[in-house]
Amino acid sequence: MRRLLVLTAVDVEARGLARHLGLAPVPGDVPRFGGGPLEIAVVGLAAAHLHTRVSAPAAGTLVVSAGACGALAPELAVGALVVPETVIAPDGRRLPTAALGGLARQGALVSVERVLEDAAAKSRLWLETGALAVDMESATILDWAAAHGAPAAVVRAVSDPAGRGVPADLARVVHDDGRVRPLRAVSAVLARPRALADAMALRAGAAAALKTVAAALGRLQRTL
Distance CA 164, CA 148 (A): 36
CA atoms within 13 A on the CB side of 18: 22
Q: What spatial distance separates the first Cα and last Cα of the chain, rounded to whole Å?
A: 6
Distance CA 223, CA 216 (A): 11
- 8 in Cβ contact with 42 (< 8 Å): yes
Q: What is the pLDDT of residues 45-80, one digit of tens each?
A: 999 999 999 999 999 999 999 999 999 999 999 999
Torsion angle, alpha carbons of 164, 119, 162, 125, to 10: -140
In the 8-state DSSP scheme, what is residue 136?
S
Structure confidence at residue 30 (pLDDT): 80
Structure confidence at residue 1 (pLDDT): 62
* Extents of the domains making up the chain: 3-222
Backbone angles phi, psi at 146, to 5 degrees: -60, -40
- 157 in Cβ contact with 210 (< 8 Å): yes
Query: Would you say domain 3-222 falls under CATH 3.40.50.1580?
Result: yes
**Angle formed by the axes of helices 195-222 and 11-21, to 10°?**
50
Structure confidence at residue 91 (pLDDT): 96
Positions of the chain with pLDDT under 50: none
160-183: buried (b, 16+ CB within 10 Å) or exposed (e) per residue? bbbebbbbebbbebbeebbeeeee
Structure confidence at residue 15 (pLDDT): 94
- 183 in Cβ contact with 122 (< 8 Å): no
Do strands 152-160 and 61-71 pair parallel, antiparallel, or not at all (unpaired)?
parallel
Distance CA 71, CA 133 (A): 4
Distance CA 28, CA 48 (A): 19
In the 8-state DSSP scheme, what is residue 7?
E
